[in-house]
Amino acid sequence: MNSIFNSSKNKRNSSIPFLLVLSFFLSIFQGVHAQQWGYVIFKDKGVHDNSFQNNFAPAAIERRFLQNIAWDERDVPVNANYISLVEACSDSTFGSSRWLNALVIQARESNWKVIAELPFVQEIEWLESNSLLTAEFPSTSFSVSTMSEYETSEALHQIDLLEPNQFVERELFGKNTIIAVLDAGFTDADNLDHLSHLFLNNQIVATKDFLKKTESIYSHSEHGTEVLTYLAGKNDSVQFGLATEANYLLARVTPNMGFFRFLNDVQWIQALEWADENGASLVNSSLSFTNQLYERKDLNGRTCKISIAANTAMDKGILVVNAAGNELQNGWEIIGAPADAERILTVGSVDPKTGYVSSFSSVGPTADGRLKPDVCAPGELLYPDDDKYKRIQGTSFATPLICGFAACIRQLHPDWDSEKLWREIRQSGSLYPYFDYAHGFGIPRASYFFFDDPEEPNVYSVQFNETDSLNCNNLLTIVRSDGEEISESFSAPVAFIQFVKETGEVFKYNVSRPKNKVIASIPPDEYLGCKLRVVYDRHFFEIPIPKP
C-alpha cells in the first residue's frame, strides 16, 4: 500500500510543476495575442517645409533632376508629433514608412481603440503573425571538385545567353549607377577575392542592418554574398556579374528564421526608402514572400504593402528587380510578393545550357491575370568557393544578372527614366512580343540595344509604317546603313516580323513589336541567304534580303 500511495503521491507532486509551466506559457501566449501588431496609417503629414530634402543624398537629388521627378508628400517623413502621440498609447514601436505614411506598433486592444480615435489617424491595418515559419532562401548547392579547365570554361560561358560580350566590348560595367541590394546578410563579402575590388575602389556606399539597427551586415547569411557575386563578382578569368563597376548599398532586411517574421515586409519597405534617400536607381531583391505573409489572392500588385512600395519606387525613379521565387514544385507554385508589383522587373530562372525554364522557377500570372515574370535569366550557376566551384540554383541568382544588365543599359542611356528602362529591357526579351507565364518575354539580349551602333557596318534594320490605317495599306521597308532600301506594300495588319535562314531557322534575337519604328536588325555576317518573313492574318510572305 505504501509503495502504491507513494507512487500516487509522486505523480501528484510531479504534475504540479507541469501545470505551473503550462500556466506560465499560456499566460505568455495570451499576453502576446492580446497585444496586436498593426499599421497606424495617418491622414496627412501635417505642416512641413522643404527642409526634408536635406535627408536625401546628392545622388538621390540628381536622380530626381535627371528624370524630371517632382518632390511630393511621399518624400516627407511621417509627422514626428503624430508618432509621439501614438507611441504614448503603444507597447512597442517598429518604425515608420514615409511612402505609406504609417507607423508600425504593438498595442493592447484597449489602446488600439484610443489610437483609432485620434483625429490624425486615417485607419488601422492588422499585421498577422505566422511566427513559427522559417524564412526560405530558394537556393541549393553542392560542392564540386577543385576548379578544372572544364568547370572554368563552363563558368566563363554560363551567362552567355545575355550576350555580355556586347557590354564588355563597349566597356559598359554599370559605372555611375548605385544599386541597393536587399537581402538576409552578406557573410564574408568583405573578405572574398572575387569581390575585393568593391572595397578597394570604395564601391560600397553604405550598409545597414534593419533588424539590429546597425551598419554591420557582413554576417548572418551567405545568401546576400552569393547575390552580390552575380551582380559584381569577377576574378582573373571569369566575370560572374555584369555590374562590376557599379556602386552598392547593402541592406539586411530579413532573418534566416525568427519569431517576428511577419514584420519582414516592414523591414523591406524601410530599406527601400533608405535606398531612395541614398541615391539608388536600381534595387536588387532576391527575396520572395509567399504563404509566410500572404494568401494567393493577395498577389494582385495592389494588396501587399511590400508590392505597393515596389511600385512607388518607380515613381521615384528607381527600378526594382525582384526574384520570382522557387515555388513551382511546391503547393504555392506562383510568384511571391513583391514580384506581383506591376512596374518592377520580375525575374524567373532558366537553365543556362538550354535557355528553358528551371524546374523550380515560380510562374505567373498574378492573381489579377497580369504577366509575370517579366523576363528570365540563368539561375543554375557555378559559384567560386575557395579553390573549387559549387553549384547553386534559384531565381535569387538570375535576378542580380538582370539587375546588372539594367545597370549596363543605364550607363549606356543615362537619360532614360526608369519606366523606359523597364520597358526596353522587357522588349529586348528573346520571345518578345510573345510571352508565356514561365519565361515572361524571355531572356534579355544585349544586342537589342546596339542595332544602330555605327561600329557595325551594313546592319539591316526593318521599318514598319502604317500609311493608311483605315484601309490597312501598310508599307514595309528594309533599310541598310549605306542607304539602300527595298519596300513592299500590302494590305493586312502585321502580326510579327522575323529574319529566317534558308533552313527555316528563325533568328532568336530579332523578333520585335511592329508598332516600333525599328523592328529588327541583323548583323552583316548573318544576312546572306536570309529572308524577311512578314506574318499577318495567319499567313506570311517572305522578302529576300538585298545584297550590299
Specify the pLDDT at position 512.
39
Specify the pLDDT at position 531.
75
Look at strands 204-209 and 247-252 and give their pairing. parallel
CA distance 4 to 10: 10
Cβ–Cβ under 8 Å, residues 366 and 299 = yes
For 40-65, give the DSSP string.
EEES---S--GGGGGGS-HHHHHHHH
Specify the pLDDT at position 506.
62
Cα dihedral 520/523/526/527 (nearest 10): 60
Specify the pLDDT at position 108.
93
Classify residue 8 by burial, with Cβ atoms within 10 Å: 0-12, 13-18, 19+. exposed
How confident is the prediction along the chain (548 residues), in pLDDT tens digits per residue?
333 333 333 434 444 454 554 444 444 444 445 688 899 999 999 988 889 999 999 999 999 999 999 999 999 999 999 999 999 999 988 889 999 999 999 999 999 999 999 999 999 998 865 433 333 454 455 555 555 666 778 888 899 999 999 999 999 999 999 999 999 999 999 999 999 999 999 999 999 999 888 999 999 999 999 999 999 999 988 899 999 999 999 999 987 544 455 677 889 999 999 999 999 999 999 988 887 778 889 889 999 999 999 999 999 999 999 999 998 888 788 899 999 999 999 999 999 988 899 999 999 999 999 999 999 999 999 999 887 889 999 999 999 999 999 999 999 999 999 999 999 999 999 888 888 999 999 999 998 998 654 344 334 454 544 444 444 445 555 555 455 565 665 555 555 566 677 776 665 434 333 333 334 455 556 666 677 776 655 566 676 665 55
Specify the pLDDT at position 146.
58
CA distance 494 to 227: 42
Question: What residue ranges define each of the domains in the chain, with the CATH number in brackets?
Answer: 33-126 (no CATH), 140-450 (3.40.50.200), 460-544 (no CATH)
**Closest by Cα among 397, 258, 406, 384 to 326:** 397
Cβ–Cβ under 8 Å, residues 141 and 239 = no
Cβ–Cβ under 8 Å, residues 190 and 228 = no
Whole-model pTM: value is: 0.76
- At 200, list the grid cell: 578597394
Phi and psi dihedrals of 265, rounded to 5?
A: -65, -30
In what helix (H) or strand (E) does residue 225 lie, and over which residues does it extend?
Answer: helix 223-232
Cβ–Cβ under 8 Å, residues 485 and 478 = yes
For 155-197, give the DSSP string.
HHHTTGGG-THHHHHTT-S-TT-EEEEEES--TTGGG-GGGHH
Specify the pLDDT at position 386.
80
Cβ–Cβ under 8 Å, residues 359 and 394 = no
Specify the pLDDT at position 154.
85
Cβ–Cβ under 8 Å, residues 86 and 20 = no
Side chain identity, residue 457: P
Specify the pLDDT at position 34.
67
The beta strands (E) that lie in 235-394 are given as 247-252, 282-285, 319-323, 345-350, 375-378, 380-385, 388-393
